[in-house]
Structure 1
């Protein structure tokens, strides 16, 4: 899949078979494409999902299918979504098992419900660096239908998503993902397994949706509180949350004297509960 899901971008981790052969999709420099060439890494990524509790899997950005072919060996209904026309043609030609299941669409803008209706599905893929966080945000919007999610990100991003409170890398995505999922950093992938190699390491992570993933607060307000707090992460919550125009006596609570990186997901829920009666 293209890196930017638009005419201006390409896939940071578009996949390919080792070695270039006639008829292969060529890495396009202007699209920033990097092809995964290590079969063992592809197989290892395919093994990150359990394939239990949902009938479908969606792979984002399959490229030439080095990961896809291992996913096809699993007992699941596999669909792939790819915006690169050349890659789509390659997949249709080389993977007849995917007939009718290669969707030439932009994941970020496409209504996935058109494929899976109201059924559960997992997401997997080697995600473009520059839109990987957008993919996670959309996944969170679809959380009612996605019990599992795994894939490859820039290493620093993957680590940040799985980080716990008390660290400088802990942020918005850390809190929001961990509110609904158990997040785990699985393993690191070096630049040497891509052609051409990127300049940084990649990291593979996995999310498993919590058994009870509903929140005891207004979820839209929870998202708003988390995002607002981290927009001024160096300030205490008393200062960063002024936009909510809270009564002075409420802001005397000790929690408002903390900075956002000091709050666990559970404490952000507690904070939202305190704010909710006064939120407009």
Structure 2
């Protein structure tokens, strides 16, 4: 994300009004203490000793994370005004404030190969990218909890047969158990967004490996939903599968009819077919 230069803010850094929500960063500052506490409490603390909060803003969620002594809280924030505010108001956090863009940050610089959880009131404009980076780092992230635009949170947690079931649903649930926890109205934010928000929790599966090529699995899922109204027989044509395999009854279905396990099983047989053709 490109950094922008702002006019120097002459207000004291500890003044809440010194931090302005910036549209290009997708910022909507949560102001409801009860909601912040519920998000913090969504983390179980099982299987990790560190938590990384993404986009803490003025720390309304941060302080509840810091209250939990079962783990150590770090925050990653790209907004310099928010960083100044946090440093002035959370002195015990200062050494654990990462002035970075999470999407570009090498987490091994902070956590090495240790396990850590993710939490946050995620900026709408990068929330999906945050999920995809979490999937890339799933070996280190056993738990993930936070707030999204409601329809995105519902999509991540939806099951087959749902109109919102799609790429994000399948890829996330291939490695994590997804729970939609609660809905948050616009009026608890400053500025208020135009839509409801939703809080979810992802808990990494005990076995989060795939019995097939991960790269091929992602390709199959994305290709299938790229033309979600078509049958798999048509949407997966670019894979150049054998005629014999394409006659399988599963290829007469549309992608939203397949469960996550169906997609995994489908990739297994596709991988075998491609190997036999090679």
* TM-score normalised per structure 1: 0.91
What is the Cα deviation at residue 216 of structure 1? 1.0
Using the alignment, how far apart are the partners of 1:32 and 1:266 within structure 2? 34
Mapped partners of 1:248, 1:26: distance in 2: 59
Within 5 Å, give how 1:110-189 maps onto structure 2: 110-189=105-184
Q: Which runs of 5+ in 1 are unaligned?
A: 9-19
Aligned to 1:92: 87
Equivalent residue number for residue 221 of structure 2: 226
Offset, 1:30: 5.9
Tell whether 2:3 aligns with 1:7: yes
Corresponding residue of 1:83: 78
1:259 & 1:44 partners in 2: Cα distance?
38
Q: How many residues align?
A: 265
Which residue does the alignment assign to 1:192? 187
Residue-by-residue CA offset, 1:91-112 (whole Å, 9 max, x unaligned): 1111111121100100011111
Instruction: Indicate the residue corresponding to 1:62 in structure 2.
Output: 56
| Residues 29 and 231 of structure 1, relative CA distance in 2, 3 Å threshold | closer
Deviations 1:184-219 (A, max 9, x none): 000000001012211100000000001111111111
Question: 1:113: Cα distance to partner?
Answer: 1.1
Aligned counterpart in structure 1 of residue 235 of structure 2, from 237, 240, 246? 240
Distance 1:237 1:230 in 2: 9
Cα distance between partner residues in 2 of 1:250 and 1:148: 38
SS where residue 95 of structure 2 aligns? coil
Find the aligned partners of 1:223 and 1:182 in 2 and give their Cα distance: 18
Secondary structure of the equivalent of 2:139?
helix
Q: 3-state DSSP class of the match of 2:60?
A: coil
TM-score, length basis structure 2: 0.92
Return the alpha-carbon distance in structure 1 between the equivalents of residues 257 and 203 of structure 2. 24
Q: Conserved in 1, the CA contact under 8 Å of 2:56 and 2:76?
A: yes
- Where does structure 2 lack aligned partners over 5 or more consecutive residues? 5-13
RMSD between superposed Cα atoms in Å: 1.5
Query: Are residues 1:271 and 2:266 paired?
Result: yes
Corresponding residue to 2:20 among 10, 26, 29: 26
Secondary structure class of the residue paired with 2:44: coil
Distance, in Å, in 2 between the alignment partners of 1:29 and 1:167 is 31
